[in-house]
Structure 1
Amino acid sequence: MTKLSVNINKIATLRNARGANNPNVVQVALDAERFGAQGITVHPRPDERHIRYQDVLDLSKVVTTEFNIEGYPDRRFMDLIKLVKPAQATLVPDPPEAITSNSGWDTIKHLDYLKDIVAELHSYGTRVSIFINPETKYFEPAKETGTDRVELYTEPYAVNFPKDKQAAIKPYVEVSELARQLGLGLNAGHDLDLHNLKFLKEQIPYLDEVSIGHALVCDALYYGLENTIQMYRRQLEV
């Protein structure tokens, strides 16, 4: 079974636009779980432009599914993981000014650095996933870091899906098979939606988890949050 983790960053963006507490990020997370989300994902950034560090602390007290915290592993992020001890920490190589994640780790160049980060996170009892591009050269070094999982960066797949879905999925199937051979768990995320998610799942049936935020929240404007989460869940039940 592939789990659906709902990224609630966009809920926090909407809240922050007015400076009060509507929508309530914690309540939305609880409702998302009640509606069928099997995990909650957040990505706190240094400028707190959407999820705030206090949000992470508040959510850690109430999330009962898998809590996944994404981010660049600077000292503040690492201290947050140490304090919260989420089910999973997903490492992304974003600089602070990035609008959103736009590439995976160069696990060759950053191998020693990632080894140290993964070891520290494991010492806190947290599972580790590394955000990674669908290029085979990065997977054996990823294994060397000691990470439990890799998260496939799926924006290229999403962009190319409408043009040629077979060509779009091909590199992902190849690296997914390699990940399995190496004993790495497999997550996926970025620009997945109701149009491309089912095909991804059909071609890579052993995905452990997908994390989806922007598209899911946009769809919820039309379909409602409960219905939307169920729609995404059905895309994964193939």
Structure 2
Amino acid sequence: MTKLSVNINKIATLRNARGHNRPDLLQAARDCERFGAQGITVHPRPDERHIRYQDVRDLKAVVTTELNVEGNPTPDFLDLVREVRPEQVTLVPDAPDAITSNAGWDTIRHQDYLRDIVADLKSIGCRVSIFLDPVAELVRAAATTGTDRIELYTEEYARQYHAGAEAALRPYREAGLLAQELGLGLNAGHDLDLDNLAYMHQHLPGLVEVSIGHALICDALYLGLENTIQLYRRQLK
């Protein structure tokens, strides 16, 4: 079964809007797990506009499934993950002012850079995933870095899904099959929701994990957090 990791960045955004601790981020993480999440994802950014670095430290002490920390491997970010040692680190090449992640790595151009970072993180016991567009050459280059997994950046799939699901998924399926041939685990994330998730799960062999935040939290406003997590889990069965 493909695992669901719930990204709780938007819960932190809501908390930060009033400067207090409501909603309680740590309790939200506990509740997501209690409601069926099989992992918790956070993506701290340098300006700490949602997840703060201290949140990552605090979450490590309460998350009982898996903590996945995403981010650009700046010196501050790497210091944080070396301290916290989450189960998984997902390397994302986002600029400091990016609203959200909007591109995967050029693993050809940055191959040596990524190889050094991957080795460093694996040496402290973290599983490493590289955020990647579904391009065969980039998947092959990712495999040379020593990474454990890749995470396919699925915004384009989500954008084209309603115009034709099969065509929208084709490059992701090809990239996923190649990743398996190369011995890479396969994650996916970005703009996945209750409309497009089941089709991806059914037609993308070897999908190990999806991380979903924005759509899931939006759905929870209407459907409730527990019910929403169960609905997303149902798409992955």
Give the structure-2-normalised TM-score.
0.99
3-state DSSP class of the match of 1:140? helix
Report the residue type matching 1:133 in the other structure. D
Helix, strand or coil: the match of 2:162? coil
The residue number in structure 2 matching 1:144 is 144
Structure 1 residue 137, shift from structure 2 partner: 1.0
Q: How many residues align?
A: 237
For 2:60 and 2:79, the matched residues in 1 are separated by: 14
Partner of 1:104: 104
Partner SS, residue 186 of structure 2: strand
Is 1:11 matched up with 2:11? yes
Deviation at 1:200, TM superposition (A): 0.1
Q: Partner of 2:231 in structure 1? A: 231
- Secondary structure of residue in 2 paired with 1:83: helix
Shift of 1:27: 0.4
Deviations 1:107-133 (A, max 9, x none): 000000000000110111100000000
- Where 1:188 maps in the other structure, the secondary structure is strand
CA RMSD of aligned residues (A): 0.5
User: In the TM superposition, what are the counterparts of 1:116-135 in structure 2 within 5 Å?
Assistant: 116-135=116-135
CA shift digits 1:74-123 (9 cap, x unpaired): 11111111111110000000010100000000000000000000011011
| Residue of structure 1 equivalent to 2:48 | 48
Secondary structure of the corresponding residue to residue 61 of structure 1: helix
Q: Name 1:185's counterpart in structure 2.
A: 185
Residue 87 (structure 2) pairs with residue 87 (structure 1): yes
Q: Give the Cα–Cα distance (whole angstroms) in 1 for the partners of residues 75 and 64 of structure 2.
A: 26
The residue type paired with residue 221 of structure 1 is L
Identity among equivalent pairs (%): 68
For residues 149 and 34 of structure 1, the distance between their equivalents in structure 2, rounded to whole angstroms, comes to 26
CA deviation string 1:13-69 (max 9, x = no partner):
001111111001100000000000000000000000000001111101010001000
Match of 1:38 in 2: 38
2:216 touches 2:228 (CA, 8 Å); kept in 1? yes
| CA–CA separation in structure 2 for the residues paired with 1:165 and 1:31 | 33
Q: AA paired with 1:235?
A: Q
Name 2:22's counterpart in structure 1.
22
Residue in structure 1 matched with residue 75 of structure 2 by the alignment: 75
Residues of 1 paired with 2:118 and 2:209: CA distance?
19
- Matched residue of 1:186: which SS? strand
| Cα distance between partner residues in 1 of 2:95 and 2:172 | 25
Amino acid at match of 1:218: C
For 2:228, give the aligned amino acid. T
Amino acid at match of 2:74: D
CA distance in 1, matches of 2:144, 2:137: 12
Report the Cα distance in structure 1 between the residues aligned to 2:107 and 2:159, rounded to whole angstroms: 24
- The ranges of structure 1 where at least 4 consecutive aligned residues each deviate by more than 2 angstroms after the TM superposition are none
Q: What TM-score does the superposition give when structure 1 sets the normalisation length?
A: 0.99
**Inter-partner Cα distance in structure 2 for 1:205 and 1:192:** 17
Cα distance in 2 for partners of 1:43, 1:220 equals 20
Distance 1:21 1:90 in 2: 27
CA positional deviation for 1:205: 3.5
